[in-house]
A = this chain, B = another copy of it.
Amino acid sequence: MLKLQGIIPPMITPLTDQDRLDLASLESLLEYMIDGGIHGVFLLGTTGEAPSLTHELRKQLIDAATKIIAGRIPVLVGISDTSFTETIQLAKTAEKYPVDAFVLTHPYYFPSYGPQFRQYVDHVLDAVSLPVILYNMPENTKVKFDLDLVRYALDRDGIIGMKDSSGDLDFFWRSCELAAASGKEFPILMGPEHLLGTSIRLGGSGGVSGGANLWPSLFVRMFEAAKGNDLAKMRDLQKKIDLLGKIYRVAENGGRVFRGLKCALKYRALCSGITAQPFTEPDPAEQKRIFQIVDELNPVKL
C-alpha cells in the first residue's frame, strides 16, 4: 500500500513555452530532487500551475515524468478541473501511467458548502480507479474544509489522506487527532512549508513543500529533525526555510511562489523561468533580489 510520509514536493512544471514542456529540465529537476531524498512527488498541483496548462500538456507531463521516475518514488497527480467530467477525463488519462494517487481540490470557480462537495467526491471516487488525497486549498478554491469533511474522508474508502494548505494549525492538528483516533493509516500533509516543522510536531505526516524544488534536502532534513523531535536542529533549519521563503515575497502581482521558484531554479540552471499566462517572469530587479537570496542560502549546500 502507498506510504505517504515525508517530503512530497509539488513539482513546478518546466516549460520552454507556455504550451511546451521542457523535457531536459524535467529530467534534471526530478533527478536533483530524488538525489535530495524526497519521498514522493506531486505533479500538477498549484505550484505546478496545473490550471494554466492545457490538458494535452498535462498528459505529456505525466507521461514524461513517470518515465523518468520509473517507480523510484510515489507519484501523485492533481486532477482538479472546474468541470466534473473534465476532471474524470484527466483522471482517466492519468490512470494509463504509473501513477500512485490522485489529488483533488474543490472545483475552483463556484464555492459550494455542506453535503454537495461530499457527494461530488463520492462521484469522483466512483469514476476513478486510483486512491484520492483531498487537498484543502481555500485561498484558490474559496472553500475551506471543516472537520466534518475530515470525518467523512476517514470513513470513505478510496480517500487515503489529506493535504492541508489552509495554514490553520488548529484545523491541521484536529485533523491529525481525528486520523489518530480512527486507527486508520491516514497521512495528513502540510502545504505551507514554513509550517512544516510545527506540523510534524502536531502529528502531521510530511510536507508538500514547494521549496523542495529548489533545496529538497533542506526539507527532508527538517522532516527528519521534527520526527526525531530535535528542537535545536529544527531551529537551525527553520532559519534556512524562512530565508528561502523570502523568495516568494519578491515577485509582485501574483503567482509569487512558482514565479519565484522558477526564477531561482533558472539561476541554478535547473529550468527556465518561464511561467504560463497570465504570469510573466519577475522583472530584472526582482530577479536580482531572488538571485541574492539563493546566494545567501549557500549554493554549495544547495
Contact = CB atoms under 8 A, between A and B. Distances in A.
Interface in A72-121: 82-86, 106-117, 119-120
A267 interface: no
A254 B52 contact: no
Interface string A158-185: 0000000001011001000100000000
Nearest to A58: B83
A1 to B, nearest CB: 26
B202 A120 contact: no
Contacts of A280: 116, 119
Nearest to A18: B84
Nearest to A87: B277
Contacts of A157: none
Contacts of A167: 170
Given A123-B277, A198-B169, A253 B114 contact: yes
Contact of A278 (B19, B117, B235): B117
Interface residues of A, number: 51
A195 interface: yes
B84 A52 contact: yes
B52 A116 contact: no
A248 B118 CA distance: 23
A69 interface: no
A120 B277 CA distance: 7
A18 B253 contact: no
A276 B83 contact: yes
A39 interface: no
A85 B51 contact: no
B112 A255 contact: yes
A295 interface: no
A292 interface: no
Given A51-B83, A254-B112, A254-B113, A278 B107 contact: yes
